[in-house]
């Protein structure tokens, strides 16, 4: 060993680089560099058309935090994420359990579940917007025929027109497009649970609920954590649903931070970059809280 | 070896990602013209234009219009190629900003504003890209608005004016003989329409598409506006607050489009075409929408003001401009001169019912009965304060928030926008 020439030794040490190097370069170029660039532009004064006019210190942040709607937008973003992810996970847990059973037509229903996932989110959002149109929307016509509203065309038939009725619809559409992925992730998780543990539970005389609670859920936790985590990030950064259906209006009352950032881009790119940095920080904080709450590192007790 | 391949693949992938990121707004056909030039072959002009039609698949789409113009131009100028990318009005500002940020500016841009680019020194002066002949054909009043500090950068492209459209059938049904001239009459008529079962007596689009136009028309009816006579921002002036208080009253009585702060003009115009709206402010460009919706029995009249019909209206001018970065000055000049002397100008008026900006164009149109009220209104028209550098920021705020003055406190909402206008 000691006779090995120095050059060869160095080459040996560097060998791992050959394997991880490309991945590192890729991460540096497509992940790290844009982040640095984003943080850098948040301290610059940039004209509306993207020409840099020099440093702006922390001016962009001061302006952002001074926006009358900033606080509301941030609170709404958190509510949006928590509501959409919680509902999505609950519904998906049920659906995954259902689709894990054997029943006639299971293949067809499993395929049908993919539809909202396969369709473009923008398309889905436009469809819902049309169905909620106050004059000619299908959902509103059904609501009228059911006697829930008196007539078309008025404020009652315009759920997307006011924040209090628009938010539930936006959340519903977001859940609608998130459920397929989550369900499939959980189905995959269910498939990994060996049949023996269920047998053991049955032998021990556990009830159905007890089995689900003490056997299925703990063993499903890895899949559940991953699915929920991806949803948290996806939903937080979700843009098309709100943009297409309400544009964040009236005012900013249905805008989340991503929408706010995009609107700011039209008036002040530096301030918009500051919003992006805040947004980025928020995702990290949300994910950190999520991982803390789910205790993802601790082993599942068996 | 494998490292090199992987490295190359990485760089390639990164380049693809970077390109697709830059090109997200440009359908990936950006760049490439520099190579043409170096080779001495035909020069490719890249043009970005707004869509005055009903989207890419419509018969009147901007793509089809520009293709016919470009085909004719290329036949006459085989050494110049023109690539036109048509973008809808909602996205064009942001997509162009992205192009500028990435250093991929087009040669020619046709959109709603030019002044923002002037401060960044991105534009050719009009003298550099438009022959004196063509320049002298432009209406002086319009060309005047294309100047920043006395130098012309923006070339007027089309114009339009606004008036009140009313549905004659619905008016008759409600027993209204004459269209309203004052706000009080407007309110009284709206109440009659409501009683006759019209769901939206007055169409009020205060959503992000064009809230700035609807608000401005109402402000003018009360002697207000975005700026006062001395040129200072006066968005929360007492007149303007009074105006929005009046609109709020209409809305609260159920006499307008529901939740106007979320409604785009296109939706409301379509509702008018479908006979669900009694009256609405519109322009020549709304005529095709009304008629394709099957509505022909409508009247056009001056917009009511607080105490009488308005003696002014909102004039809108759209612009075409040349960027100086790619060094295609000669070719751009050829294209502009061709465009303004071609039949395309007439075609825009015919297809989109937009008003021309050249003397020769207006002369040709003077016999068109439907456009006459608007051609008459043009000389008195008031324009947005778009040459003010703060306008784009103010405009963004108006589009997003002014509609909430109808459901909230007008003074507070207008005050917030005024604060943005006065900010540094």
Angstrom distance (rounded) from CA B352 to CA A143:
38
Q: How far apart are the CA of B138 and the nearest CA of chain A, in angstroms?
A: 28
A151–B contact, CB cutoff 8 A = yes
Contact between B258 and A158 using a beta-carbon 8 Å cutoff: yes
**Residue corresponding to tokens 């401009």:** B321
Contact between A162 and B408 using a beta-carbon 8 Å cutoff: no
Structure tokens belonging to residue B328 = 């295609």
Residue B121: the pLDDT is: 87
Tell me: pLDDT of B90 over 50.
Answer: yes
Tell me: pLDDT of B10 over 60.
Answer: no
From B13, B392, B400, residue closest to A48, measured CB to CB: B392
For the four alpha carbons of B265, B267, B272 and B277, in that order, the dihedral sign comes to: negative
A73 neighbourhood in chain B, CB within 8 Å: none
Report pLDDT digits (tens) over A23-33: 999 999 998 99
Mutate to test the interface with B, among A267, A269, A273, A275 (most CBs of B within 10 A): A267
Structure tokens belonging to residue B179 = 């269209």
**Mean of pLDDT values over B263-275:** 92
Residue A84: the pLDDT is: 96
Tell me: pLDDT of B14 over 50.
Answer: no
Contact between B400 and A22 using a beta-carbon 8 Å cutoff: no
Contact between B3 and A267 using a beta-carbon 8 Å cutoff: no
Instruction: Name the residue in chain A with its Cα closest to that of B9.
Output: A22
Angle between helices A121-131 and A138-145 (to 10 degrees): 40
Helix (H) or strand (E) holding B148: strand B147-148
Cα distances (angstroms) measured from residue A227 to each of A32, A88, A187, A292, B335: 24, 10, 11, 16, 55
**Mean of pLDDT values over B146-156:** 90
A16–B contact, CB cutoff 8 A = no
Q: Mark which residues 162-201 of A lie under 8 Å from B by CB.
A: 162
**Residue B71: which of B339, B410, B424, B368 has the closest Cα?**
B339
Residue A71 buriedness (CB in 10 A; 0-12 / 13-18 / 19+): exposed
A271–B contact, CB cutoff 8 A = no
| Strands B163-167 and B298-301, sheet pairing | antiparallel
Q: What are phi and psi of B55, to 5 degrees?
A: 100, 165
Contact between A266 and B392 using a beta-carbon 8 Å cutoff: yes
Contact between A21 and B3 using a beta-carbon 8 Å cutoff: yes
At B246, the pLDDT band (50, 70, 90 cuts) reads: very high
From B13, B18, B262, residue closest to A26, measured CB to CB: B13
Residue B33: the pLDDT is: 41
For the four alpha carbons of A136, A142, A147 and A148, in that order, the dihedral sign comes to: negative
Contact between A155 and B200 using a beta-carbon 8 Å cutoff: no
Tell me: pLDDT of B2 over 60.
Answer: no
B271 neighbourhood in chain A, CB within 8 Å: 135
Contact between B199 and A161 using a beta-carbon 8 Å cutoff: no
Contact between B261 and A51 using a beta-carbon 8 Å cutoff: no
Tell me: pLDDT of B266 over 70.
Answer: yes
From B3, B400, B413, residue closest to A249, measured CB to CB: B400
Angstrom distance (rounded) from CA A252 to CA B404:
9
Instruction: Name the residue in chain A with its Cα closest to that of B118.
Output: A49
Q: Which of A151-155, A191-195, B65-69, B317-321 is predicted with the least confidence, judged by mean pLDDT?
A: A151-155
Angstrom distance (rounded) from CA A62 to CA A44:
13
Percent of chain B with pLDDT over 90: 50
Q: How far apart are the CA of A79 and the nearest CA of chain B, in angstroms?
A: 22
SS3 of residue B385 by DSSP: coil
**Mean of pLDDT values over B322-347:** 89
Q: What are phi and psi of B8, to 5 degrees?
A: -60, -40
Residue A298: the pLDDT is: 59
Q: How far apart are the CA of B331 and the nearest CA of chain A, in angstroms?
A: 24
DSSP B305: B
From A30, A68, A133, residue closest to B17, measured CB to CB: A30
Contact B354, B158 (CB under 8 A): yes
Contact B186, B180 (CB under 8 A): yes
Mutate to test the interface with A, among B259, B261, B391 (most CBs of A within 10 A): B259
Q: Which of A163-172, B99-108, B113-122, B164-173 is predicted with the least confidence, judged by mean pLDDT?
A: B113-122
**Mean of pLDDT values over A8-18:** 85
Tell me: pLDDT of B399 over 60.
Answer: yes
In B17-143, DSSP assigns E strands to 43-50, 80-87, 108-111
Residue B9: the pLDDT is: 47
**Residue B279: which of B260, B257, B294, B296 has the closest Cα?**
B257
Contact B161, B141 (CB under 8 A): no
Q: How far apart are the CA of B364 and the nearest CA of chain A, in angstroms?
A: 37
Contact between A269 and B7 using a beta-carbon 8 Å cutoff: no
Report pLDDT digits (tens) over A143-156: 999 988 888 877 88
Q: How far apart are the CA of B359 and the nearest CA of chain A, in angstroms?
A: 33
Q: Which of A121-130, A190-199, B203-212, B386-395 is predicted with the least confidence, judged by mean pLDDT?
A: B386-395
Residue B351: the pLDDT is: 83
3-state secondary structure B231-261: CCECCCCHHHHHHHHHHHHHHHCCCECCCHH
Report pLDDT digits (tens) over A280-295: 998 898 888 888 887 7
Tell me: pLDDT of B11 over 60.
Answer: no
Angle between helices A257-265 and A269-294 (to 10 degrees): 170
Cα distances (angstroms) measured from residue A165 to each of A153, B114, B203, B236, B405: 16, 39, 22, 30, 19
Helices (H), chain A: 6-27, 33-41, 59-66, 70-99, 106-118, 121-131, 138-145, 163-191, 195-203, 208-211, 217-236, 240-245, 257-265, 269-294
Q: Which of B114-123, B207-216, B395-404 is predicted with the least confidence, judged by mean pLDDT?
A: B114-123
Altogether, the residues listed in chain A come to a count of: 302
Rg of chain A over Cα atoms, rounded to whole angstroms, equals 25
**Residue B153: which of B317, B316, B323 has the closest Cα?**
B323
**Mean of pLDDT values over A81-104:** 92
Residue B40: the pLDDT is: 55
Structure-derived torsion over alpha carbons of residues A27, A32, A37, A43, reported in degrees to the nearest 10: 170
Contact between B258 and A157 using a beta-carbon 8 Å cutoff: yes
B98 neighbourhood in chain A, CB within 8 Å: 50
Q: Rounded to 5 degrees, what angle do the CA atoms A142, B256, B212 make?
A: 115
> What b/e string do you get for B401-421 counting C-beta neighbours within 10 Å, with b at 16 or more?
bbbbbbbbebbebbebbbebb
* Largest Cα–Cα separation, chain B: 87
Q: How far apart are the CA of A268 and the nearest CA of chain B, in angstroms?
A: 7
Contact B309, B181 (CB under 8 A): yes
Contact A300, A218 (CB under 8 A): yes
For the four alpha carbons of B333, B338, B344 and B349, in that order, the dihedral sign comes to: positive
B258 neighbourhood in chain A, CB within 8 Å: 134, 153-155, 157-158, 161
Contact between A267 and B392 using a beta-carbon 8 Å cutoff: yes
Instruction: Give the number of other CB atoms < 10 A from CB of residue B163.
Output: 22
Q: Which domains does chain A have, with CATH numbers?
A: 70-254 (1.10.3720.10)
**Residue A185: which of A95, A296, A54, A247 has the closest Cα?**
A95
The overall average pLDDT reported for chain B is: 85
User: Residue A274 contacts by C-beta under 8 Å, 6 or more apart in sequence?
Assistant: A42, A60, A61, A63, A64
Contact between A247 and B276 using a beta-carbon 8 Å cutoff: no
| Residues facing residue B81 across a β-bridge | B44
Mutate to test the interface with B, among A72, A135, A163, A275 (most CBs of B within 10 A): A135
A249 neighbourhood in chain B, CB within 8 Å: 207-208, 261-262, 400, 403-404
Angstrom distance (rounded) from CA B300 to CA B374:
9
Residue A4: the pLDDT is: 64
Structure tokens belonging to residue A231 = 């949803």
Residue A66: the pLDDT is: 87
Residue A299: the pLDDT is: 53
A146–B contact, CB cutoff 8 A = no
């Amino acid at each position: 060993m000691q006779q090995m020439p120095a050059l060869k030794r160095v080459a040996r040490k560097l060998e791992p680089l050959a394997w991880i190097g490309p991945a590192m370069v890729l991460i540096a170029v497509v992940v790290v560099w844009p982040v640095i660039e984003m943080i850098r532009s948040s301290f610059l004064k940039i004209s509306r058309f993207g020409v840099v006019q020099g440093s702006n210190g922390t001016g962009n942040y001061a302006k952002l935090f001074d926006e009358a709607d900033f606080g509301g937008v941030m609170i709404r973003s958190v509510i949006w994420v928590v509501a959409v992810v919680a509902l999505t996970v609950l519904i998906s847990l049920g659906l995954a359990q259902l689709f894990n059973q054997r029943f006639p037509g299971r293949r067809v229903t499993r395929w049908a579940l993919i539809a909202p996932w396969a369709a473009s989110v923008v398309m889905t959002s436009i469809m819902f917007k049309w169905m909620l149109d106050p004059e000619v929307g299908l959902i509103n016509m059904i609501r009228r025929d059911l006697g829930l509203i008196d007539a078309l065309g008025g404020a009652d038939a315009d759920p997307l027109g006011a924040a209090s009725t628009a938010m539930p619809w936006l959340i519903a559409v977001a859940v609608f497009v998130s459920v397929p992925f989550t369900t499939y992730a959980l189905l995959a998780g269910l498939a990994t649970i060996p049949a023996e543990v269920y047998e053991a539970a049955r032998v021990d005389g556990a009830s159905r609920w007890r089995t689900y609670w003490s056997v299925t859920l703990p063993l499903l936790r890895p899949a559940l954590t991953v699915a929920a985590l991806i949803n948290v990030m996806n939903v937080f950064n979700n843009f098309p649903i709100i943009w297409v259906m309400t544009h964040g209006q009236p005012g900013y009352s249905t805008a989340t931070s991503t929408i706010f950032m995009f609107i700011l881009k039209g008036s002040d790119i530096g301030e918009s970059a500051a919003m992006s940095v805040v947004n980025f920080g928020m995702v990290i904080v949300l994910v950190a809280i999520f991982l803390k709450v789910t205790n993802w590192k601790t082993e599942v007790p068996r | 070896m494998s490292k090199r391949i992987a490295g190359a693949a990485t760089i390639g992938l990164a380049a693809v990602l970077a390109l697709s990121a830059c090109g997200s707004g440009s359908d990936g056909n950006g760049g490439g013209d520099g190579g043409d030039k170096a080779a001495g072959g035909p020069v490719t002009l890249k043009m970005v234009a707004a869509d005055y039609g009903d989207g890419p698949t419509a018969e009147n789409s901007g793509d089809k219009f520009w293709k016919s113009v470009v085909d004719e131009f290329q036949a006459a100028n085989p050494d110049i190629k023109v690539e036109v990318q048509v973008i809808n009005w909602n996205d064009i500002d942001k997509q162009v900003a992205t192009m500028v940020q990435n250093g991929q500016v087009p040669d020619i841009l046709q959109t709603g504003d030019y002044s923002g680019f002037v401060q960044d020194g991105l534009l050719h002066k009009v003298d550099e890209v438009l022959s004196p002949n063509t320049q002298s054909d432009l209406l002086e009043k319009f060309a005047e608005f294309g100047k920043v500090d006395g130098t012309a950068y923006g070339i007027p492209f089309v114009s339009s004016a606004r008036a009140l459209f009313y549905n004659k059938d619905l008016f008759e049904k409600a027993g209204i003989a004459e269209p309203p001239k004052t706000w009080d009459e407007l309110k009284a008529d709206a109440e009659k329409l409501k009683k006759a079962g019209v769901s939206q007596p007055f169409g009020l689009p205060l959503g992000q598409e064009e809230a700035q136009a609807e608000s401005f028309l109402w402000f003018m009816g009360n002697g207000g506006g975005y700026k006062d006579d001395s040129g200072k921002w006066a968005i929360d002036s007492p007149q303007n607050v009074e105006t929005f208080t009046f609109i709020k009253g209409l809305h609260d009585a159920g006499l307008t489009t529901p939740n106007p702060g979320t409604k785009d003009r296109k939706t409301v115009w379509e509702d008018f075409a479908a006979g669900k709206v009694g009256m609405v402010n519109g322009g020549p460009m709304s005529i095709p929408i009304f008629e394709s919706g099957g509505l022909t029995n409508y009247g056009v009249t001056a917009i009511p003001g607080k105490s009488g019909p308005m003696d002014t209206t909102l004039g809108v001018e759209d612009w075409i401009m040349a960027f100086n970065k790619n060094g295609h000055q000669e070719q751009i000049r050829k294209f502009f001169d061709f465009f303004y002397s071609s039949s395309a100008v007439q075609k825009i008026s015919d297809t989109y019912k937009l008003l021309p900006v050249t003397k020769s164009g207006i002369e040709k149109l003077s016999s068109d009965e439907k456009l006459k009220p608007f051609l008459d209104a043009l000389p008195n028209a008031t324009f947005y304060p778009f040459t003010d550098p703060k306008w784009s920021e103010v405009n963004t705020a108006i589009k997003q928030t002014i509609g909430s003055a109808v459901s909230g406190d007008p003074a507070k909402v207008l005050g917030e926008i005024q604060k943005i206008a006065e900010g540094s």
